Amino acid sequence: MQEINSALKECGFGWFQRRLLCASFFAFMCGVFVTNTTPYILPNAECDLNMNLLHKGVLNAAPFVGMLVSSVVAGFLTDTFGRKIFLVGGYGGMFFFGVVSAFSQTYEMLICSKFFEGLLFGAAYSPCMTFTAEYCHNEVRDRVFLFQSSFQPIAQIVLAALSWAILIQDWETSFFGGLIVLHTWNYYLIVISLFSLIACILYCLQPESPKYLVTQNRFDEARETLKKIYKMNTGKPIETFSLANIWKEKIYPVHDAPELTIKSTFSSQLANGLHNIKPMFRKPLCFYLILVCVMNYFTMTLYNTIRLWFPQLSTIVEHYAGVDGNSELCGTLDAYTKDLRLKAVNVTDAVKHGCLPTRSGTETYVNSIILGCVSVTPYVLSGILVNKVGKKILIISAALLTIAATLWLRWSSSRIEIVGLFAADMAFGQTLMSLLQSTTIDLFPTSIRTLAISMLMTVGRIGSMVANVLFPILLDIGCIVPFYTFAAIMICVLGLAFFLPRDRRK
């Protein structure tokens, strides 16, 4: 691995990594879209699919359930069988189920397709993270990782702009005598599914990770990949690459000699993979894995609830602010839940007047774009500071700022203040997740790195799934309950951050 790091350092950072980041940009877009499209379509589709507040929470949680099913298994198999096959298969499958969700005519059909989108994204996300990291040498890896993570807020900006352009339209097309009716939100999901197709095509053009190839004793393929990177980045002939003949004289152990071994079978590769994960469950890696997983659980609980419910909450503020003289966020949300309870009691009156969706206006889409723009800022600052102060200090600072922003939301009143605090929560939450993922990549070796990331994300998605189902229930009890709960769990993150090891380079 040190030899690969030296080779990558000589290759430099150039067109190959830029092309890889372009692929990961569309991959990250898909990751944001698979969960974030649901909140945008909720106001438009609530009448078409007959959804109440709890239905919306379950639909928000559906992709996370899919991710839970696939993440850990896919992480183990990725370390055993390679990154590329899961990247291509995962994003290709997401495109298929994205089209299925776009043609959904019932709530059940939509929630099933969203589940499978999440399942396939869970299989593709961890290899996406490690794939890029394994093509960067140690001195630039953290900065590239944070830069790559900044694609998430950029994706939120793109999604908000697409939502604004499409969802304000009144499109409705009927096929087969009304058997299939496509509304505006159906066309919106068709457009969104195209990003998965682009990600699939771009990853088809990438070679397998050289670090993975070396762990499989495929030295010739790894060497050719490094040569390709050198030539693409520098534009120089291969003869000038000092490590062009790396591993050519590699002496294989007798049991690994290519002329003496039969091609590895599926079962032998599985057995080898199981053997490789043993260090993960020994000290100190076992302790570190538990620590980062618990921190990520709490962080993703807050971040994904805020992210997924913001379009709906913004729409509520847009329509209910000032009702009964309430101007504070909690007063507005309590007025909305009170109105829902009254409608539930007066069912006959609701049926008589029909369902009238509370559609998102321009303000909600503009606010979402602002959130995305603000969320980019911490990545820029972290990218500058990470090599100077270290990840541990940045994690502690981000946790403190998240606690302050979450508590302040309880008393926020002006719309600018509300948007600013939601943006701060999302920005610092994203930064925390990226730093925890980068810490995990540093702590765990190549042979179990993808599995470690998968376990980290799986535990975090459990928090996201539970929180998205519980949030409407807690909100119905009283607005202050969810916000005080979020502040409390971030205090736990702050406390646990002090147990993280210092950065290796520090």
Report pLDDT digits (tens) over 34-78: 888 887 887 777 777 777 767 877 887 888 888 888 777 776 777
Residue 396, number of CB atoms within 10 A of its CB = 16
What pLDDT does residue 475 have? 80
Global pTM reads 0.70
What pLDDT does residue 94 have? 92
What pLDDT does residue 32 have? 84
**Beta bridge pairs of residue 174:** 181
Average pLDDT on 263-267 reads 53
The yes-or-no verdict on residue 338 having pLDDT over 80 is: no
- Which helix (DSSP H) or strand (DSSP E) does residue 202 occupy? helix 184-204
Report pLDDT digits (tens) over 124-172: 887 887 788 788 777 777 778 778 877 887 888 888 888 888 888 888 8
- Computed over every residue of the chain, the mean pLDDT equals 79
Highest mean pLDDT among 228-242, 355-369, 422-436: 422-436
Task: Using the Cα atoms of residue 246, residue 248, residue 251 and residue 254 in order, give the sign of their dihedral.
Answer: positive
The yes-or-no verdict on residue 250 having pLDDT over 80 is: no
What pLDDT does residue 176 have? 78
For residues 157 and 180, give the distance between their C-alpha atoms in angstroms, rounded to a whole number: 31
Residue 237: exposure state from Cβ atoms within 10 A (0-12, 13-18, ≥19): exposed
Q: Tell me, what amino acid is at 145?
A: F
Q: At residue 133, what are phi and psi to the nearest 5 degrees? A: -60, -35
Name the CATH superfamily for 2-213+278-497.
MFS general substrate transporter like domains (1.20.1250.20)
What pLDDT does residue 227 have? 85
Report pLDDT digits (tens) over 315-325: 777 766 654 44
Report pLDDT digits (tens) over 87-121: 899 999 999 999 998 888 888 888 999 999 988 98
Which region among 28-42, 422-436, 439-453, 456-470 has the lowest average model confidence (pLDDT)? 439-453
More confident residue, 57 or 28: 28
Helix-helix angle 446-477:53-81, to 10 degrees? 170
Average pLDDT on 25-36 reads 87
Average pLDDT on 274-286 reads 71
- Give the length of the chain: 506
